[in-house]
Amino acid sequence: MNKPYIIYHMLTSLDCKIAGKFLEEPQVLPLHEHYYSNHRNFKADAFLCGRVTMQGSFTGEALPDIAAWQGKEYPRTDCVAEKADFYAVAVDTKGKLNWQTNRIADDDPGYDNAHIIEILCENVNDAYIGFLQSKNISYIFAGKEQLDLPLAMQKLCELFGIEKLLLEGGGIIGGAFAKADLIDEISFVCAPVIQGNSGQPAFADCVTVLPRFSTFKTEPLENGGMLIKYLK
């Protein structure tokens, strides 16, 4: 199967949480730049996040106004709206992300100006497809009612030429990639903080054994942080 080389890259607490108050702790704040600098240094073709992460980072939680396209029907045909040097891939199977433009606007050059690709299931509301077309946003279909991750990765590779992909959250989508054996490399900046049982998502919200991975780099960081990388 054609697919990108997939790197799961995250900033975590010592107990593998990826969201929560620990991210705001004074000793953790300097570690954010290590996470972002590693993101840039990978020189990937795209980054991918689930819907919740995209809402928290880029679109907000408001649902899109799709009334103008209600009652219309759209074929379940993949749409390559633009070819770009860098892509933001959103797993949004039910069509809930309220994008304002077809590119990410961010102060960090590692994210800014990335062209948006939506991964949808075929049972998505037709009106949301019309909404994406009105914004000139690319989209692909992967599965009728349940997400077909291998198919999605094949399409990203073949339609957009994505050869290296950064998987950057959240825990549910990370666990799905791990279960599907799609991850080639794991990279995380670990902060010396324990988040505890806070209801916050973990690095991978599933029980997954990765017997074919071994550590190939460890690097101590400031404030007791650690960069750890695993390779399949």
Q: Would you state the structure tokens that stand for residue 131, as one six-digit string? A: 């909404």
Give dist(CA 176, CA 227) in Å, integer: 23
Where do the domains of the chain lie? 1-44+169-232, 46-162
For residues 207-214, give the mean pLDDT.
70
Tokens 């957009």 -> residue:
160
14-27: pLDDT as tens digits: 888 888 888 889 99
Average pLDDT, the chain: 92
Give dist(CA 195, CA 189) in Å, integer: 15
89's enclosing H/E stretch is strand 87-91
Report whether CATH 3.10.310.10 matches the domain 1-44+169-232: no
For residues 210-226, give the mean pLDDT.
89
Give pairs for 148-153: CB < 8 Å, separation 24+: 149/176, 149/177, 149/180, 149/182, 150/1, 150/3, 150/180, 150/182, 152/91, 152/119, 153/1, 153/3, 153/4, 153/6, 153/182
Fold match, 1-44+169-232 / 46-162:
yes
120-134: pLDDT as tens digits: 999 999 999 999 999
Give dist(CA 222, CA 31) in Å, integer: 7
DSSP class of 201: P
How is domain 46-162 classified at the CATH fold level? Dihydrofolate Reductase, subunit A (3.40.430)
Q: Would you state the structure tokens that stand for residue 225, as one six-digit string? A: 């942080």
Q: What are phi and psi of 202, to 5 degrees?
A: -105, 170
Residue 3 in this model has a pLDDT that exceeds 60: yes
pLDDT value at residue 79: 98
pTM of the model: 0.93
